[in-house]
Amino acid sequence: MEVYVNIKRRGRHVLLAICDADLLGKTLTDGDITFTIRKEFYSGLKVGADEAVNLINQSTIVNMVGEKIVSRAIERGFVHPQAVLTVSGVPHAQIVKM
C-alpha cells in the first residue's frame, strides 16, 4: 500500500502532504466542489502507508487524501472519523498542531 509524501519546512512549521499513489494527478468533483490532487503539492517520495503515518509525529500541518492513508491515520489515532470529509467518495483529512 504505497502513498506519496511531500514534506515542506518553513521556519518551525513542517507541512506534510500525503495522498494514495493511485490518486496523484486526479480531479475529484462533488457538486460545487472541485478538488485536484496536484502533483506539485503531493508528489514527492513514494513510501508505504505506515512510514507516511509515522511522519505525522514530526509535522505541524498534515493534509491527506485517499482511503488508504486516511484509514491508516484513523487506526493510529491521528484523525477522528467524524473529522473526515469526502469528495466523490474519497476521504480527505487535515491535522493542525498548535
Domain ranges of the chain: 2-96
**Per-residue cell: 9:** 519546512
Give every CB contact of residue 14 below 8 A, 6+ residues apart in sequence: 7, 8, 58, 59, 60, 61
Q: Mind listing the pLDDT tens digit for each residue in 12-67?
A: 999 999 999 999 999 999 999 999 999 999 999 999 999 999 999 999 999 999 99
Pairing assessment for the beta strands 61-65 and 90-96 based on DSSP bridges = antiparallel
Residue 83 has pLDDT above 90, yes or no: yes
Contact 12, 58 (CB under 8 A): no
What is the average pLDDT across 63-88? Answer: 97
Put simply, whether the predicted model's pTM sits higher than 0.85 gets the answer yes
Pick the CATH number of 2-96 from 3.90.180.10, 3.30.1860.10, 3.40.1210.10, 3.40.190.10: 3.30.1860.10
